Amino acid sequence: MLRIEMMTTHGFFGEDTHLSEEGYALFVDALRVNKVHLLAKQVLEHVDECEKCKAEILETLSLTEDESCREAEPHPYLEAIDNQTAARFSIAYRIAAIFLVGISLGVVLYLFGFVIEKASDPPNSSVSSLIGKPSIQKVPANNDESIARRVLVADNFSESPNLENLVNSVSRSESPFKVSPRNNEIVKKEILFRWKMQGVEFVTITILSNKEDVLKSSSLKRSNFLYSEKLKPGLYYWKLEHKDELLYVGKFFVK
Amino acid sequence: MTDNERDIILLRSDPHLLILKYQETVRIIVKKYILAGMFKACDFEDIVQEITSTLLVKIPAMQSQYNGMSLFKTYFSVIVRNICVKEHTKYKKEVTIEQENDGSLIDRTRGDEKILIEEEARRFRRILSLYHHQRPKLLLCLKLHYRIPLTNDDIFAWYPGCSTQDLENLLAHFGADYEVVDDIEIFKTVTPVMNRNEKRLNSVDAVRKWTDSKIHEILRLLNGNPQRRSHNEETLKILIDDFFSPFLLEK
């Protein structure tokens, strides 16, 4: 069986560095079917520069120009190269098409994801700034007003870092004494603050919001205080002081 | 099975039968070389016999060298041609082609001027098709040499990355009639652009010499080996004009 070598220069050149007899024949075949571009690059470059090979090819072409019957048959070498090239282009085009589809899909998914993320984001930045502690979670909302309201409410329950520390530290350090409301108690409308402390004639009671805003401050000789002003739902703190000494810090919730 | 595949099988199995099969091809080629003046008509049968004997001796070489990349019939024609050239060298008998005093290409053995010119035009196109990478530059230089106006397509085929400035400059100089411009002026304008395209530093003289060498190469190819024609730069201009304006010769 004859071995056909594709896309190589083996067999195209003779020992004298010019084209071999088969090289000339192949070039003539390629010229007759307009497929010179399929020939090996080295062959084209050599013929480009070599007058002797051009002359040989030209003479052979003129001798065989009457023989058109063979052009209808598939050429053993040129057809194979042409099919190989077509297959390579086909594969290349397919890969390019897949790549293009992949990129387009990626862009569409990115844009789609961006649209969804935009829809779930808070409507403006000022609302998000009301959220103090990280522990307060964003509440998913159906609409912008609901989101804002929920964020504001949640913010009223956020803890004050300074007062929280005092709540824990003072309650640990002091000897037990009875107070009301107890820490974390949920209170309703009117709040009756009570305490029992030995060796203290008068105290100053201060009621604060969770933002450390002073809502009420009174100095008392008695050991109770009624606070009847309406408080919005939220977390609040109260502290008892005697002169400059902090006696107690408590916290309660209003709902 | 194609004819070529049958030939390949015969080459391996019965090469003598293959040589007999291609006797008609041998006769056609010898007749063409007799017409071309390589052999005398009276030596036709002797030449055919000689060539056939040589082919029989060359069978082993053909069997080892032919690897099926070309059509066997074309390969066979190359072998026969090479044998004819060697035989011609041995005999050294020529018939000169008569020429008219005006240097036209009339071959009295053919007797049909129009057919001859068409054949020469076809031969010239074939020669140009043998130039692959050099072809765009060659066509541009041929146009310049023969003062044929350049077009955008000529320039971009040769220099795809040609700047607008270079394009406008070339078209301003050579886009219309420039018969009176001499070669040196032409190549002084073209050479810098050519160097930008080829990323070289050719001199004006080098480019002009390259053009001249290619024109002489084309003339030698047109005239054949062994020489059977007497083309010169004037007849080449006719062929070049026909190439760039295919209907010119019909006027």
Query: What pLDDT was estimated at residue A176?
Result: 44
User: What six digits make up the tokens of A53?
Assistant: 């090979």
Please tell me whether residues A185 and A222 are part of one structural domain.
yes
Please tell me whether residues A1 and A49 are part of one structural domain.
yes
Closest residue to A45, CB basis, from B32, B129, B133: B133
SS3 A235: strand
The parts of chain A modelled with pLDDT lower than 70 are: 1-10, 66-72, 89, 114-145, 147-152, 168-177
Please tell me whether residues B211 and B127 are part of one structural domain.
yes
Please tell me whether residues B123 and B244 are part of one structural domain.
yes
Closest residue to A22, CB basis, from B70, B73, B224: B70
Closest residue to B133, CB basis, from A3, A5, A48: A48
Query: What pLDDT was estimated at residue A222?
Result: 82
Pairwise CB contact (< 8 Å): A73 & B130: no
Number of folded domains that form chain B: 2
Give the separation between CA B36 and CA B48, rounded to whole angstroms.
16
Please tell me whether residues A9 and A104 are part of one structural domain.
yes
Query: What pLDDT was estimated at residue B127?
Result: 93
Give the residue numbers in B contacting A (CB under 8 Å), as ranges: 2-4, 8, 25, 28-29, 32, 65-71, 73-75, 77-82, 123, 126-127, 129-134, 217, 220-221, 224-225
How many contacts, defined by CB atoms under 8 Å, are there between A and B? Answer: 120
Query: What pLDDT was estimated at residue B107?
Result: 45
Is the distance from CB of A247 to CB of A220 less than 8 angstroms? no
Please tell me whether residues A217 and A116 are part of one structural domain.
no
Please tell me whether residues A77 and A129 are part of one structural domain.
no
Cβ-based contacts of B78 with chain A (< 8 Å)? 21-22, 24-25, 28, 56, 60
Please tell me whether residues B69 and B117 are part of one structural domain.
no
Please tell me whether residues A4 and A108 are part of one structural domain.
yes
Please tell me whether residues B161 and B84 are part of one structural domain.
no
Q: What is the 3-state secondary structure (H, E, C) of chain B?
A: CCHHHHHHHHHHHCHHHHHHHCHHHHHHHHHHHHHCCCCCHHHHHHHHHHHHHHHHHCHHHHHHHCCCCCCHHHHHHHHHHHHHHHHHHHHCCCCCCCCCCCCCCCCCCCCCHHHHHHHHHHHHHHHHHCCCCCHHHHHHHHHHHCCCCCCHHHHHHHCCCCCHHHHHHHHHHHCCCCCCCCHHHHHHHHHHHHHHHHCCCCCHHHHHHHHHHHHHHHHHHHHCCCCCCCCCHHHHHHHHHHHHCCCHHHC
Query: What pLDDT was estimated at residue A147?
Result: 66
Give the residue numbers in A contacting B (CB under 8 Å), as ranges: 2-5, 11-12, 20-22, 24-26, 28-29, 31, 36, 44-45, 47-49, 51, 54-64, 66-67, 70, 73-77
Domain interval for residue A98: 1-121
Residue B185 lies in a domain: yes
Query: What pLDDT was estimated at residue A6?
Result: 43
Residue B224 lies in a domain: yes
Q: Helix B183-198 vs helix B204-223: angle between axes, to the nearest 10 degrees?
A: 100
Is the distance from CB of A78 to CB of B73 less than 8 angstroms? no
ipTM score over 0.95, yes or no:
no
Please tell me whether residues B151 and B232 are part of one structural domain.
yes
Please tell me whether residues A249 and A193 are part of one structural domain.
yes
Boundary-marking domain end, from B60, B91, B122: B91
Domain interval for residue B164: 113-250
Please tell me whether residues A148 and A221 are part of one structural domain.
no
Give the separation between CA A187 and CA A231, rounded to whole angstroms.
10
Residue B108 lies in a domain: no
Nearest chain A Cα distance for residue B177, angstroms: 31
Please tell me whether residues A113 and A90 are part of one structural domain.
yes
Report the candidate in A171, A178, A183 with the shortest Cα–Cα distance to residue A252. A183
Nearest chain A Cα distance for residue B17, angstroms: 19
Give the separation between CA B45 and CA A125, rounded to whole angstroms.
105
Please tell me whether residues A42 and A137 are part of one structural domain.
no
CATH of the domain at A239: 2.60.40.3080
Please tell me whether residues B177 and B73 are part of one structural domain.
no
Pairwise CB contact (< 8 Å): A63 & B220: no
Pairwise CB contact (< 8 Å): B133 & A44: yes
Environment class of A180 (CB within 10 Å of its CB; exposed 0-12, middle 13-18, buried 19+): middle
Neighbours of B147 (CB within 10 A): 15
Residue B107 lies in a domain: no
Boundary-marking domain end, from A104, A121, A138: A121
Give A239-251 pLDDT, tens digit per residue. 998 887 888 899 9
Instruction: Report if pTM > 0.80.
Output: no
Give the separation between CA A167 and CA A237, rounded to whole angstroms.
9
Cβ-based contacts of A47 with chain B (< 8 Å)? 130, 132
User: What six digits make up the tokens of B188?
Assistant: 């002084």
Number of folded domains that form chain A: 3
Rg (CA), chain B: 23
Is the distance from CB of B132 to CB of A48 less than 8 angstroms? yes
Pairwise CB contact (< 8 Å): A36 & B129: yes
Residue B37 lies in a domain: yes
Please tell me whether residues B119 and B72 are part of one structural domain.
no
Please tell me whether residues A116 and A1 are part of one structural domain.
yes
Pairwise CB contact (< 8 Å): B132 & A47: yes
Nearest chain B Cα distance for residue A85, angstroms: 17
Please tell me whether residues B87 and B124 are part of one structural domain.
no
pLDDT in tens, chain B (251 residues): 888 999 999 999 999 999 999 999 999 999 988 888 888 888 899 899 999 999 999 999 999 999 888 999 999 999 999 999 888 887 764 444 443 333 444 344 445 666 677 888 888 999 999 998 999 999 999 999 999 999 999 999 999 999 999 999 999 999 999 999 999 999 999 999 999 999 989 999 999 999 999 999 999 999 987 777 889 999 999 899 888 876 555 44
Q: What strands, in cross-sheet order, belong to the sheet with A179-180?
A: A179-180, A191-195, A224-227
Closest residue to B130, CB basis, from A47, A63, A67: A47
Closest residue to B71, CB basis, from A5, A48, A75: A75
Please tell me whether residues B219 and B173 are part of one structural domain.
yes
Please tell me whether residues B46 and B141 are part of one structural domain.
no
Give the separation between CA B17 and CA B142, rounded to whole angstroms.
49
Cβ-based contacts of A12 with chain B (< 8 Å)? 69
Please tell me whether residues B86 and B122 are part of one structural domain.
no
Neighbours of A29 (CB within 10 A): 27
Q: pLDDT > 90: what percent of chain A?
A: 22
Question: Is the sign of the CA dihedral B8, B9, B14, B18 positive or negative?
Answer: negative
Boundary-marking domain end, from B91, B125, B147: B91
In sequence order, which ranges of chain A are alpha helices (DSSP H)?
21-32, 41-49, 51-64, 78-120, 125-129, 144-156, 161-173
Pairwise CB contact (< 8 Å): A54 & B130: yes
SS3 A245: strand
Give A136-186 pLDDT, tens digit per residue. 445 555 566 676 666 667 788 888 888 888 885 554 444 445 788 888 888
Please tell me whether residues B129 and B35 are part of one structural domain.
no
Neighbours of B81 (CB within 10 A): 21
Please tell me whether residues A117 and A128 are part of one structural domain.
no
Query: What pLDDT was estimated at residue A143?
Result: 61
